[in-house]
Structure 1
Amino acid sequence: MSALMLAIGAGAVIGLALGALGGGGGMLAVPALIYLLGLDPTSAATASLLIVSATSLTALARHAGSVDWRTGVTFAAAGVVPAIAAAGLAQFIPRGILTGAFAMIAAAAGIAMLRSTQLDETGPTGALKVAQRVGVSKALTAGAGLGTVTGLLGVGGGFLAVPTLVTVLKLRMHVAVGTSLFVIAVNSGAALATRLATAQITLDWKVLGPFAGAALLGAWDGKRLSAKVSAAGLKRIFACLLFGLAAFMFVDAVVRGG
């Protein structure tokens, strides 16, 4: 299969994940860019941030009516500085360490997705549920951690944001998805700007262009997919995929490290 077809297929899946679940796309983007398209981890993380930023904004346009903007701004603000700092640091970390770290994060993302299936709601997608301010410090800590992961590995981190927004701030699931997309867009944009300003990276737009285009279309259509297929079912599918990626990348890190 040609690199162009691989890019289009992978981009579509990543966009659907972001649009339907509010996260998970970046966790798929980086391995796809490394193993399917042959980018090095640093370039893959930068390209992933570009794709995730664009697709999260596209998906956000579809979910704008179900965003808790006050919570989103607070959560995103906690992650901006860590995202910038981690993005600047990432270029100095060896490939094997980055790959191993990504494998662990992918496994954690899979576990988080499986655990969050119990949080899915089946009620109407109407008014917002007001966030409880108990545990806001935990949410700010999670926001900072999310920003660090975003900057370091080039992932959006929605797999962390959505469960935190639901369990800590007590948002309904569909509100958490929309709010997560806003947080992802802010953190990814900050990390991307830092990487572009501090590292000399050349991106192949002949491949990344179709990849990003397919991701944008997938993100736009993701909300419709989430209405047809249960969020719990989608999360189980993506969780299994993430476990497989984690195992593969862990082996790759060990082999390269050895």
Structure 2
Amino acid sequence: MILAVPALVHGAGLPMAAAVPTSLVVVGASSLTAVLPRLRLVQWRLAAVVGGVGAVATFAGTAVNRLLPGRWVLLGFALVMVAAGVRMLRGGGSDARGVEGRRRLPRAVAVGLGVGFLTGLFGVGGGFLVIPALTLLLGLTMTTAVPTSLVVVVVNSVFGFTAHVTGNGGAGGGIDWSTAAAFTAAAVAGSLAAARLAGRVPATRLRRGFALLVLAVAVYVIVQSVLAPAVGS
């Protein structure tokens, strides 16, 4: 879902002011669909801390979003995509020692603040940030990190969307709901299809392929933002 904003801007032609809240609708709905079959695997206490703190931070990210031109928001988002793509290419395992008790709480709060802020600023759910944080910083296995991250993404998406809507006089954030519905349906269908295919393709190959796609889209966004600055304004 890190590709939702570029797709909405450059594919559907939405301005950034509409693309960000529309992306949150798409991300939230698709994440909710994905987590429902795996609710038993969610680490609810961590999800509550990270999601709760992140929900508050989304309002700060949204406030900053309103102060910046759409071009700069898009460029900043492209840099986040580059960082995510590089991180996925490098890989990395989970912290086998785990993190427990009082050491876990401040880390969970820090993760929530960072992910929530980026959710409000760029309109991303933050799953590509939450999963590494849950595994590397908080010691979760991938089995529990993925469904836990989906809960956090749903919470952040709801509050991020609310922040954008209330900041636009409650008018729906300028969303084209037909576009939002089409993208949401495609995202849900894609996530269900990907879940079936994931077990047939080596995880390393999937991660590297997606990382290269993210990097390619990031380069495209940067070039378009420089050569056609009116896009995303």
CA distance in 1, matches of 2:39, 2:88: 23
> How many pairs align?
224
Q: Which residue of 2 aligns with 1:215?
A: 187
8 Å contact from structure 1 (residues 62, 220) kept in 2 = no
Quick one: which amino acid aligns to residue 177 of structure 1?
V
Q: Which moved more, 1:194-203 or 1:148-157?
A: 194-203
CA distance in 2, matches of 1:192, 1:155: 11
CA distance in 1, matches of 2:41, 2:157: 21
CA distance in 1, matches of 2:151, 2:99: 16
8 Å contact from structure 1 (residues 112, 163) kept in 2 = no
Q: Which residue of 2 aligns with 1:144?
A: 113
Q: Which residue of 2 aligns with 1:73?
A: 48
8 Å contact from structure 1 (residues 82, 147) kept in 2 = yes
**Shift of the alpha carbon at 1:202?**
3.0
CA distance in 2, matches of 1:111, 1:132: 29
Q: Which residue of 2 aligns with 1:181?
A: 150
1:157 corresponds to 2:129: no
CA distance in 2, matches of 1:130, 1:254: 44
CA distance in 1, matches of 2:15, 2:179: 14
8 Å contact from structure 1 (residues 99, 252) kept in 2 = no
Q: CA RMSD in A?
A: 2.1
**Shift of the alpha carbon at 1:224?**
2.4
Q: Which runs of 5+ in 1 are unaligned?
A: 1-24, 121-128
Corresponding residue to 1:239 among 198, 211, 214: 211
TM-score (norm 1): 0.80
Corresponding residue to 2:8 among 22, 33, 36: 33
Q: Which runs of 5+ in 2 are unaligned?
A: none
CA distance in 2, matches of 1:232, 1:72: 26
Q: Which residue of 1 aligns with 2:39?
A: 64
Change (3 A) 1:130 1:108: closer
Change (3 A) 1:81 1:220: same
Q: Which moved more, 1:192-201 or 1:27-36?
A: 192-201
CA distance in 2, matches of 1:226, 1:60: 16
CA distance in 1, matches of 2:37, 2:209: 23
CA distance in 2, matches of 1:73, 1:226: 28
1:118 corresponds to 2:105: no
Q: Which moved more, 1:200-209 or 1:211-220?
A: 200-209
Q: Which residue of 2 aligns with 1:166?
A: 135
Quick one: which amino acid aligns to residue 112 of structure 2?
G
TM-score (norm 2): 0.88
CA distance in 2, matches of 1:257, 1:198: 24
Corresponding residue to 2:202 among 222, 230, 234: 230
Q: Which residue of 1 aligns with 2:23?
A: 48
CA distance in 2, matches of 1:248, 1:157: 21
**Shift of the alpha carbon at 1:256?**
4.5
**3-state SS of the aligned residue for 1:228?**
coil
Query: What is the percentage of aligned positions where both structures have the same residue?
Result: 35
**Shift of the alpha carbon at 1:139?**
3.2
**Shift of the alpha carbon at 1:130?**
7.4
Q: Which moved more, 1:230-239 or 1:149-158?
A: 230-239
8 Å contact from structure 2 (residues 86, 211) kept in 1 = yes
Q: For each residue in 1:52-105, what CA deviation from the matched residue of structure 2 results, as whole angstroms up to 9, or x when unmatched? A: 011111111022122111111111122111112212332331022111101111
CA distance in 2, matches of 1:256, 1:38: 13
